Amino acid sequence: MTEQHYNLRLAMANYFKEGTTVIIPPHYHDHIVNAYNQGNLDWDADEAASLTLFSAYYDGVLKKDDLSFPGNKALQWAEQHIEMLGVK
């Protein structure tokens, strides 16, 4: 596991309600880390975690009820960011 993957997982852990068990498949993490690296973007673990959450949410891997208040805010940020980029 790379340092980026480790930091991404730590950031994501803060976005789930206590006691919630959601397993995000590794390819979601890999996709976001690779996108940052291939795009030569400045690494931001919280931003990457938000985008990973959005991707997993969009695919039905998790529900909004699984997320804490900061997790829901992160999901909203990611959705707005993706719409701004015209990716969605």
How large is the average pLDDT for residues 1-23? Answer: 91
Confidence of residue 87 (pLDDT cuts 50, 70, 90): low
Q: What is the pLDDT of residue 51?
A: 93
The total of structural domains in the chain comes to 1
Q: In the prediction, which pLDDT does 86 show?
A: 65
- Is this structure's pTM higher than 0.85? yes
**Phi, psi of 6, deg, nearest 5:** -60, -50
Dihedral of alpha carbons 11, 9, 80, 44, sign: positive
Q: Which domain holds residue 53?
A: 3-85
**For 31-70, how does the pLDDT look when each residue is reduced to its tens digit (9 = 90+)?**
899 988 888 888 899 999 999 999 999 999 999 999 999 9
d(C-alpha 44, C-alpha 38), whole Å = 14
